[in-house]
Amino acid sequence: MSQVAPVSQVVIEAGGRHIREINQDIQAAVRAGAAVEVSNTLSRHNLGIGLPAHAQVHFAGSVGYYCGGLNNGAHLTIERNAGWGLAEGMSRGHVTVYGYAGMSAGAAMTGGTIHVRGDAGPRCGVAMKGGHIVVEGKIGYQSGFMAHRGKLIALGGAGAACADALWQGEVWVAGAIESLGVDVNVIEPTAEEVAQVDAILEPLGLVDTGRAWRKLISAQRLWYFESRDAKSWLMI
């Protein structure tokens, strides 16, 4: 999606100010057509919530929980690390984290792209319903848990219980996987499927034709079960 060039840049200090005031200042600057830099972030929680499609916001430091939540098309960059729930529930847009992303990055997202330059914590992509998450490092335990749709792509391996209880989401891993979650099939992707992943990675400068991909999908045993027959599903 093309972005409207901002007419100016505004620096907004977070510091110890009330989070509502900070977000109101960000929204006002965005409405005026300015690109925004948020300084002195102090790992504050709930920064940049519900930003619209034309917003361009750079967080010059680490952020806390839920940064970029409910993103509706904004382009966000986070200079260092992000806490839990990064861009939870986002529907459009692009979020880049230059460091580490904490637990549940991209939870319940329905669209857009999250790009983590470092590692991601546990349950990355939990319950995601669309969009893409690209992690250049390793994803933590139970990443992809109950992902309904979308692609979670890890270039540096995965922790324990990877792709646990998947639905129709896909987890792509290059590198070692500590262990698989329940009800997971590991398949060799087709050339066409790899090309689709490369199309996601290409704008990020991350295409490498030498990668040995593993594509993780649901084995579908948890899709259909008889609740009265506990042995058939509790022991998967």
Task: Report how far residue 54's alpha carbon sits from residue 202's, in angstroms, rounded to the nearest whole number.
Answer: 23
Per-residue pLDDT tens digits for 151-187 = 999 999 999 999 999 999 999 999 999 999 999 999 9
Sign of CA dihedral 55, 111, 106, 210: negative
Q: Is 92 exposed, middle or buried (0-12, 13-18, 19+ CB in 10 A)?
A: middle
Structure confidence at residue 2 (pLDDT):
45
Q: Where are the domains of the chain?
A: 1-118, 152-236
Which two structure tokens, joined as six digits, stand for 158?
């995965």
Per-residue pLDDT tens digits for 18-55 = 999 999 999 999 999 999 999 999 999 999 999 999 99
Q: Is the pLDDT of residue 235 over 70?
A: no
Structure confidence at residue 221 (pLDDT):
85
Task: Report how far residue 60's alpha carbon sits from residue 40's, in angstroms, rounded to the nearest whole number.
Answer: 7
Q: Where are the alpha helices (DSSP H) in the chain?
A: 19-31, 191-201, 231-234
Instruction: Report the percentage of the chain scoring pLDDT > 70.
Output: 92
Report strand pairing: 129-135 vs 149-154: parallel
pTM score:
0.94
